[in-house]
Chains A and B, each alone.
Chain A
Amino acid sequence: MRRPNGNIVAALVLIVILAMIVIYSIEFEELLYRYFSTKNSTGSRTPLLVYFGQHIWMVLVSSVIAVGIGVGVGIFATTKSGEEFRDPLLKVVNLGQAFPSPALLALVVPILGYGYEGALIALVVYALMPIVYNVVVGIQEVPEDIVDAAVGMGMTPYQLYKKIKIPLALNVILGGIRTALVINISAATLAAAVGAGGLGVLVVNGVRTFDMVLILQGAIPVTIMAVIAELLLKEAQSRLSF
């Protein structure tokens, strides 16, 4: 069963690189200045580690909440009692995925105010879209005859979900979570605009002061994180689904 594993190896390499960037942030900054900027404005700022921590925390919390709610709502929509909600829900979720994330954040601020909570909720809502969509579609796509056989053997609805529907839909469900996570990692950058911290602070400040180095300092770790998440979840998908 052991096969050489490209995804895992690549992810590990990227994790090491990311760790180096965070640990040796000063050297990283100097390196960037050498190539991307003429002015040298190394001042004492909040260390990269802090922004990095805020960013990861925001992504993790919002993703865990979104997975919990999304999987729950998605499963409910595929049950008999959730049948009426299914089509409207799919429409909303589909539209939601097309809704620009900055606009969503902008909508949240007037309602929830500036800061961490607002950003978190926006991220949760945004991550919900692909998760709910994939849970519903994944479960709906489980072949009719397999469900028929399972019910015919006397499985209760709970056993049907646990033993048949969810395992068979797992690949698609994990695909949704993967999309949500990647989107969230980059969307969390915008959270800085509503004062929620994270690596986005660097990017936002960089854009404001036309400082290429600042932008890259924020953007590079975000990109690496997104790629790592993508690789790890791809791997999980190929391992957990049959």
Chain B
Amino acid sequence: MIEMQNVTKSYGDFKAVDNLSLHVDSGELLVILGPSGCGKSTTLRLMNKMAERTSGTIKIKDKDIDSFVEEDLRKGIGYVIQSIGLFPHMNVWKNIATVPQLLGWENSSIDRRVDELLLLVGLKPENYRYKKPSQLSGGEAQRVGVARALASDPDILLMDEPFGAVDPINRLRLQKEFRQIQRRLGKTVVFVTHDIDEAILLGDRICIMNHGKVVSLDTPENVVLHSKDDFVDSFFKGEGILTILSRKNVGDYMEEIPWEGEEIVQDSTLKEALSLMLLTGEDRVPVKGGSISFNRILQVVGRDINEKA
């Protein structure tokens, strides 16, 4: 879907992106992770020509991005900028309607689309449709930002730290919801973050960058558990393993052994099950239709660890 080959972006002598190659499959969520200033935003902006590359080629849907009219390329790609950038003089409806209006949709279909998107990002249309951005909380604004990027139903979404301004609790909920939305709609997403947990939770693959270069590009499991790179190791510092557990559902690993106590649902994550064990002091917690044990969780992680070792 997206293909970058030997792409370099220089500002004077400084290479913000340095001979970078990567590809993103259709329907894949690729996370770009790395320290501040490593070139994440720049990489993203090269894809929709918000930044002009110095050398290399970029293809979107097998077509060189230079073969598109710039505006048309951008209209076909949802883009959430790092600071959201809602238009302060327009209400939520108008913000979301921007690209459909540029594309000349009829008002009635825009109306329907705006309501649909607000519901999708968990905002009641009747409460939010006519609010001004100044009347939204940071988290609500970011949801609107995401809805706006999805408005014309683009196949590709570029998202630059879209949940950066949300408090940790709501962020987790947003992340999970977004993951579901992305799966359901089959969108191809490039998602920039410098939050390790967010990367592990969301990514099909994680691209770790440093100094404008790709240091590692692999599945979260492999990046966290099998890294052979010192920078990656130092970046994660052993963190992330619990987040790996939060990618996995209890339902997939439970046993049909009945157990006393308050049940958790099968959609709960292994991380939640583990937390509950630590809280109750027992090495097994009941799940609807059975239970899951501490040993099982160890096995799951162990298998991941040993798979490739």
Contacts and interface: CB of A to CB of B under 8 A. Distances in A.
A143 B88 CA distance: 10
A149 to B, nearest CB: 3
A164 interface: yes
Contact of A148 (B75, B85, B102, B132): B85
B99 A168 contact: no
Interface in A137-182: 143, 145-146, 148-156, 159, 163-164, 167-168
Nearest to A168: B89
A35 interface: no
Interface in A70-110: none
B17 to A, nearest CB: 18
Given A168-B88, A242-B89, A154 B83 contact: no
A150 B76 CA distance: 14
Contacts of A143: 85
A152 B102 contact: no
Contacts, number: 59
A152 B89 CA distance: 18
Chain B interface helix/strand/loop/mixed: loop
Contact of A146 (B71, B87, B132, B148): B87
A152 B74 contact: yes
Nearest to B95: A149
Contact of B99 (A148, A153, A164, A241): A153
B230 interface: no
Contacts of A151: 50, 74
A153 B79 CA distance: 7
Contacts of B83: 145
Contacts of A154: 71-76, 99, 102
Nearest to B102: A154
A148 B45 CA distance: 10
B48 interface: yes
Contacts of A149: 79, 81, 84-87
Contacts of B86: 146, 149
B98 interface: yes
A158 to B, nearest CB: 10
A149 B74 CA distance: 11
Given A154-B72, A154-B74, A145 B50 contact: no
A148 B73 CA distance: 15
A155 B75 CA distance: 8
Contacts of A148: 50, 81, 85
Interface string A108-132: 0000000000000000000000000
A153 B89 CA distance: 17
A152 B87 contact: no
A153 B50 contact: no
A151 B126 CA distance: 29
Given A153-B148, A242-B89, 14 more contacts: A145-B81, A145-B84, A146-B87, A148-B85, A149-B81, A149-B84, A149-B87, A151-B50, A152-B48, A153-B75, A154-B99, A163-B98, A168-B88, A242-B88
Interface of B: 48, 50, 71-76, 79, 81-89, 98-99, 102, 132, 148
